[in-house]
Amino acid sequence: MNRPRILAHLSARTAVFTSALLSSALLTTTLLTTALLTTAPFTHAQGAPAQTLVIHAGELLATPGKKPEKEQTLVVVDGRISQVLDGYQQPAGTADARVIDLKDRFVMPGLMDMHVHLQGELGPNGDSEDLKFSDELLQMRSLMFALRTLNAGFTTVRDAGSKSQEMYALRDAINRGWIDGPRIIAAGGVGITGGHNDVSGMKHELLELYTDKSICDGPYDCRRATRDAIKYGADLIKITSTGGVLTDRDTGTGQQMEMDELDEVVRAAHRMGRKVASHAHQEDGIVAALKAGVDSIEHGTYTGPEAIKLFKSSGAYLVPTLLAGDTVKTMAETSDFLSPAIKEKAIRVGNDMKDNFGRAYKAGVKVAYGTDSGVSAHGDNAKEAVLMKQAGMSAMDVLVSATVSAADLIDMSDSLGTLEVGKQADIVAYSASPLDNIEELLDVDFVMKGGKVFKQK
């Protein structure tokens, strides 16, 4: 067929195809319009009455770090705080609003956990579950763990490493209101071959099968992996500058990522508006990650003088995860399902974590609350607060770390972390003040996220 005939043929086919597309688009538009008109009475359409709640709080810690106030009224309109008033009031225009009586409760912003793994939970059946559970079943279990976390009073979490697309889908479904759960900030992982982010403890055929494309070697490959994670939906980048306790290889807990790899990951992430969190135990890996410009250090077990200086000069946060250290130490001493390589690291790191955290806190390092839940049981997130208090942190600073500081770490201070006008109505309440007894956090009486009540005793 000569060139003019080819062009004519293509032009005719294009015209037919375009006509079909237009007809299809018209039909789709008609169906969509009909559906919208049919369902309009059941939607919160523009101009519909706002949903208003009035909360009477016996003691209100509206801004952790400041003194709580007695006998306060919170007005919530469409999921956000619209008024904070002295006394128990029924403001004008709220006569028909639901009144929530928390006059005998201590009320404060919803808690936030900056290090969870919602897709799993460490235990003796972990290896068999990894092989037997489909990704779909894993997702169902993740939802169960997410709901446990929310009902424990944690309204926002940062998932620090899971199967990425499943976690992004869980995040997005919660954000769309399709399912219930805590607000999720989901990390995309970047790690080196054989490092803590890589798979371990399997025969070589399975190692090859399960090795993820996020595994990289050298600065430019790690730059590629970072951009790839962001492309597919990561809210932040999680790296592992040192070895890890639960890596089933005898490779220690010292620095493993090279400085040029760390530099490229941080540069690539920051250029695309993403923060970087680095798992790190030994001080050499903490120092290297901080020099590269990471935004938070996870665990930070052996934070020493040099690392403390870098923490303070950079403004990076320490996310201590004391509960993880306590959990793996206990498991290593009382069970036999952990390998010898893991047991040795678990006992050593678990023994050292709390005291070293106490020194870093007293030196003025910024702290954001994080548990590493998934190592510990989901729903036990508040146990971290007890361990932080035991390490020397004041009760008020513990609450700040789980609210104001956590919101700052995830760049959401404009909507989370305090109960101020315009912010999300993420609210928890306890039968007594955790400022007097931090263990009150272990038994939350009331949980609201975005104006929706999930728990009320």
Closest CA to 255 of 239, 270, 271, 269: 239
pLDDT grade for 49, boundaries at 50, 70 and 90: low
pLDDT of residue 210: 72
* 368 and 114 Cβ atoms separated by less than 8 Å: yes
Structure token pair of residue 75: 């007005």
pLDDT of residue 211: 64
Calpha distance 19→89 (Å, rounded): 63
Please indicate whether residue 131 or residue 311 has the higher confidence score (pLDDT).
311
Closest CA to 242 of 286, 277, 306, 199: 286
pLDDT grade for 380, boundaries at 50, 70 and 90: very high
Tens digits of per-residue pLDDT, 163-172? 999 999 999 9
Amino acid at 456: Q
pTM (two decimals): 0.88
Question: The domain 52-110+432-456 belongs to what CATH superfamily?
Answer: Urease, subunit C, domain 1 (2.30.40.10)
Give the mean model confidence (pLDDT) for residues 342-364: 94
Q: From the centroid of its chain, how far is CA 326?
A: 21
Please indicate whether residue 135 or residue 65 has the higher confidence score (pLDDT).
65
Amino acid at 280: A
Q: At residue 53, does pLDDT exceed 50?
A: yes
Calpha distance 387→149 (Å, rounded): 18
pLDDT grade for 227, boundaries at 50, 70 and 90: very high
Half-sphere exposure of 351 (CA within 13 A, CB side): 8
Backbone CA torsion sign across 218, 221, 222, 223 = positive
Tens digits of per-residue pLDDT, 243-287? 889 887 878 889 999 999 999 999 999 999 999 999 999 999 999
> Which distant-in-sequence residues (6+ apart) come within 8 Å of 331 by Cβ?
122, 337, 338, 346
Q: Which CATH class is domain 111-416?
A: alpha beta
Q: Which residue has the tokens 């959401």?
A: 412
Q: Where are the domains of the chain?
A: 3-42, 52-110+432-456, 111-416
Q: At residue 124, does pLDDT exceed 50?
A: yes
Structure token pair of residue 213: 């494309």
Give the mean model confidence (pLDDT) for residues 3-31: 40
pLDDT of residue 198: 62
Give me the residues paired with residue 297 across strands: 278, 318
Amino acid at 224: R
Backbone CA torsion sign across 360, 361, 363, 365 = positive
Report DSSP letters for 380-406, one per residue.
-TTHHHHHHHHTT--HHHHHHHTTHHH
Q: What angle do CA 124, 129, 133 make, to 5 degrees?
A: 165
